[in-house]
C-alpha cells in the first residue's frame, strides 16, 4: 500500500474498515453510534455555534418549503433534512475561489458557502475562529435563491428551472457554485474538470462535489475518480450515503463492505465518517482540503447517514424503509444530537438554541414570502436557452 492509498486518518474520522450494513438487507448505520468521535478537533465555542447556526438555518429552510409542498403551494421538493451535519461541515472548509458542486440534498452547503451570518443576525454569534465569509450581500443572494426554488424570474435561472439545477458564479466575490446536472454521477467528471482547471491555473483552490450513494454505481463515478487520482487533482468527493437510492436499498446496489474502500482502488484515501456528526465531518474535510491544497490529490469521503425523507417529497420511496430503520434514523437526527452535545459541553444554553431556531424560522418566512410575491416567468415567451 502506498502512502496515497492509506486510509486518511483525521480527528474523529471513522476509517474505511468494516461493513456499514448487514449483508442480508438494509444497513446497520454507523450514524447510530454514540457521539464523542470528534474529540480532538479543537474547535472553539464560536466555531461550534457557527456550525450549529447553519445546521438550524438549513433545517428551517427545508421545513419552510416542505410546508409549502404540503399545502400545495409547491409541486416538488427535494428535502435536505438529516443531511445538514455533512453538508454544512463539508462546506465550512471552502474558501474564496473554491468551487462547490452540489446535488439535491445540499442546501446546507449552499447556505454555508453563500452567507455571512453576521449580516443576517448581527451579534448572535460570539467572536472567535469563525469561517471568513465571502463578500456577498446575504439578503440579496437569499432572495435570488428563494426565487430560484419558486421558479421566479429573479431566480438564478430566470425561471427556466425551479430547483437545484442552477449555477451561480460571482467572480468578484470568489463564489463558484455549479448546481446539479442529474441526480446520479454526471457531476463527478465535471467537478474533476473544475479541479483540473483550478490546478492548471496554478492556484491552491479546491473543488468539492456531493453525490448520493446512488451515483456510485455509474460509469461517471469511475471515470471521474480515476481522472482525479491520476492527475492528483484538488478534488474531494463526498458521498451522502443515506443507504437508499430512490427505492433501492444499498444491499441491492453494491456488494463492497463500504464505498470508502473504493478510494484505494483509484489510489486515493477513502474515509468513512459519521455524517450525523458535524465536527467529525469537519475533521475529515480539513485533512482532505489541506491535502488537496498542498498538491496531494483527491480524497473520497463517505458520510454515513439515514433516510429521513423520501427521494423527493410526495413520491413513495420513504414507504420502502422498514419502520425500525426509520425510527433509528430519526433517533439520530444530526441537529438534535448536536444541540444535546452543545448543551452538555456548556457551549450554550437552551435559550440560545431557541433564539437561533426562532430567528432562522422568521428569516425564511420573510425571505420566501418576498420571493413568492415576485413575477412568474412567461411560459409562452421565446427565450434563448443558453444565454444569460
Ligand atoms: C441517468 C439517470 N438514471 C436514472 C435516474 C432516476 N433516478 C433518480 S434519483 C435515482 C437514485 C439516486 O440515488 P441517491 O443518489 O442515493 O439519492 P437519494 O434517493 O438518496 O436521494 C435514480 C436512479 C436519473 N435521474 N438519471
Ligand atoms: Mg441515497
Strand (E) or helix (H) holding 279:
helix 278-293
Which atom of ligand 1 lies nearest, measured to the CA of 104?
21
**Residue 316 falls inside a structural domain:** yes
Q: Please tell me which residue, 21 or 44, carries the higher pLDDT value.
A: 44
Share of the chain above pLDDT 90, in %: 83
> Which atom belonging to ligand 1 lies closest to the Cα atom of 78?
21
Answer yes or no: is the C-beta of 249 below 6 A from any ligand 1 atom.
no
Q: What is the pLDDT of residue 9?
A: 36
User: Comparing 4-8, 222-226, 304-308, which segment has the lowest mean pLDDT?
Assistant: 4-8
Is 371 part of any domain?
A: no
Spatial separation of the C-alpha atoms in residues 84 and 58, rounded to whole Å: 7
Q: Is the CB of 183 under 6 A from ligand 1?
A: yes
Query: How confident is residue 248, by pLDDT bands cut at 50, 70 and 90?
Result: very high
pLDDT per position as a tens digit, 199-218: 999 999 999 999 999 999 99
The answer to whether the Cα torsion of 182, 186, 192, 196 is positive or negative is negative
Residue nearest to atom 22 of ligand 1 (CA): 246
Confidence of residue 49 (pLDDT cuts 50, 70, 90): very high
**Across 91-97, average pLDDT:** 98
Interval between CA 48 and ligand 2 midpoint (Å): 27
Contact status, residue 311 vs residue 246, Cβ threshold 8 Å: yes
Tell me how far apart the alpha carbons of residues 236 and 252 are, in angstroms, rounded to a whole number: 26
Specify the pLDDT at position 382: 82
Q: For residue 343, what pLDDT band results from cuts at 50, 70 and 90?
A: very high
What is the mean predicted confidence (pLDDT) over 291-316?
96
Q: Does the Cβ of 353 fall within 6 Å of ligand 1?
A: no
As a three-state string, the secondary structure of 316-337 is CHHHHCCHHHHHHHHHCCHHHH
pLDDT of residue 77: 95
Q: CB count, 10 Å around CB of 117?
A: 20
Domain-located, residue 153: no
Phi, psi at 327, each rounded to 5°: -65, -40
Residue 387 is assigned to a structural domain of this protein: no
Residue 242 Cβ inside 6 Å of ligand 1? The answer reads: yes
Is 205 within the bounds of a domain? yes
Domain residues for 27?
Answer: 3-57+78-129+163-350
Determine which residue's CA is closest to atom 25 belonging to ligand 1. 183
pLDDT for 46 beyond 80: yes
The candidate with the shortest Cα–Cα distance to 89, out of 263, 243, 239, 286, is 286
Cα–Cα distance between 354 and 282 in angstroms, integer? 24
**If residue 109 lies in a helix (H) or strand (E), which one and from where to where?**
helix 107-114
Looking up residue 193, the CATH number of its domain turns out to be: 3.40.50.970
Give the ligand at the shortest distance from the Cα of 210. 1
- Measured CA to CA, the distance from residue 57 to residue 355 in angstroms comes to 12
Does ligand 1 come within 6 angstroms of the Cβ of 352?
no
The three-class DSSP label of residue 72 is coil
**Within a domain: 176:** yes
65-93 pLDDT, tens digit each: 999 999 999 989 999 999 999 999 999 99
Is residue 246 within 6 Å of ligand 1 at its C-beta? Answer: yes
- For 133-188, what is each residue's pLDDT tens digit? 999 999 999 999 999 999 999 999 998 888 999 999 999 999 999 999 988 999 99
Number of domains in the chain: 1
DSSP 8-class letter at 75? S
**Cβ(179)–Cβ(166) under 8 Å?**
yes
Single out the residue of 265, 292, 281, 129 nearest to residue 208, CA to CA: 292
Q: What is the 3-state secondary structure (H, E, C) of 158-184?
A: CCCCCCCCCEEEECCCCEEEECCCCCC
In angstroms, what is the span from residue 215 Cα to ligand 2's centroid?
8
The reply to whether the predicted model has a pTM over 0.85 is: yes
Q: Considering every ligand atom, which ligand is closest to the CA of 247?
A: 1
Average pLDDT over residues 267-292: 98
Residues 6+ apart with CB under 8 A from 285: 89, 90, 92, 93, 208, 236, 238, 301
Could you tell me the pLDDT band of residue 118, with boundaries at 50, 70 and 90? very high
Between CA 145 and CA 152 the distance in angstroms is 10
In a domain, 366, yes or no: no
How many whole angstroms from 105 Cα to the centroid of ligand 2? 10
Q: Band the pLDDT of 387: cuts 50, 70, 90.
A: low
Spatial distance between the Cα atoms of 345 and 128, rounded to a whole number of angstroms = 17
Q: What is the pLDDT of residue 146?
A: 98
139 occurs within a structural domain = no
312 Cα nearest atom in ligand 1: 21
Amino acid at each position: 500500500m502506498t502512502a496515497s492509498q492509506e486510509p486518511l486518518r483525521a480527528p474523529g474520522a471513522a476509517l474505511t474498515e468494516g461493513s456499514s450494513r448487514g449483508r442480508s438487507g438494509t444497513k446497520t448505520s454507523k450514524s447510530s453510534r454514540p457521539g464523542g468521535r470528534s474529540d480532538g478537533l479543537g474547535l472553539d465555542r464560536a466555531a461550534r455555534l457557527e456550525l450549529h447556526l447553519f445546521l438550524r438555518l438549513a433545517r428551517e429552510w427545508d421545513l419552510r418549503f416542505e410546508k409549502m409542498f404540503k399545502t400545495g403551494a409547491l409541486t416538488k421538493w427535494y428535502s435536505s433534512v438529516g443531511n445538514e451535519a455533512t453538508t454544512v461541515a463539508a462546506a465550512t472548509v471552502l474558501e474564496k475561489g473554491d468551487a462547490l458542486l452540489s446535488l439535491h440534498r445540499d442546501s446546507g452547503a449552499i447556505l454555508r458557502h453563500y452567507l455571512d451570518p453576521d449580516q443576517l443576525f448581527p451579534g448572535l454569534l460570539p467572536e472567535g475562529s469563525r469561517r471568513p465569509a465571502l463578500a456577498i450581500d446575504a439578503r440579496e443572494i437569499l432572495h435570488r435563491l428563494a426565487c430560484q426554488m419558486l421558479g421566479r424570474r429573479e431566480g438564478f435561472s430566470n425561471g427556466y428551472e425551479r430547483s437545484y439545477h442552477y449555477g451561480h458564479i460571482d467572480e468578484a466575490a470568489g463564489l463558484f457554485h455549479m448546481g446539479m446536472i442529474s441526480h446520479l454521477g454526471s457531476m463527478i467528471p465535471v467537478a474533476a474538470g473544475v479541479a483540473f482547471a483550478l490546478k492548471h491555473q496554478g492556484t491552491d483552490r479546491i473543488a468539492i462535489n456531493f453525490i448520493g450513494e446512488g451515483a456510485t454505481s455509474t460509469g461517471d463515478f469511475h471515470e471521474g475518480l480515476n481522472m482525479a487520482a491520476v492527475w492528483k487533482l484538488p478534488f474531494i468527493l463526498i458521498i451522502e450515503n443515506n443507504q437508499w437510492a430512490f427505492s433501492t436499498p444499498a444491499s441491492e446496489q453494491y456488494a463492497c463492505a463500504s464505498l470508502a474502500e473504493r478510494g484505494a482502488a483509484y489510489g486515493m484515501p477513502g474515509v468513512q465518517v459519521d455524517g450525523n456528526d458535524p465536527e467529525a465531518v469537519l475533521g475529515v474535510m480539513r485533512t482532505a482540503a489541506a491535502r488537496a491544497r498542498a498538491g496531494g490529490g483527491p480524497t473520497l469521503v463517505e458520510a454515513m447517514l439515514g433516510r429521513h425523507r423520501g427521494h423527493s417529497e410526495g413520491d413513495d420511496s420513504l414507504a420502502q424503509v422498514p419502520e425500525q430503520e426509520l425510527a433509528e434514523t430519526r433517533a439520530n437526527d444530526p441537529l438534535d444530537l448536536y444541540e444535546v452535545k452543545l448543551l452538555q459541553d456548556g457551549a450554550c444554553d437552551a435559550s440560545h438554541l431557541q433564539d437561533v431556531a426562532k430567528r432562522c424560522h422568521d428569516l425564511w418566512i420573510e425571505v420566501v414570502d418576498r420571493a413568492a410575491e415576485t413575477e412568474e416567468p412567461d411560459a409562452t415567451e421565446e427565450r434563448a436557452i443558453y444565454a444569460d
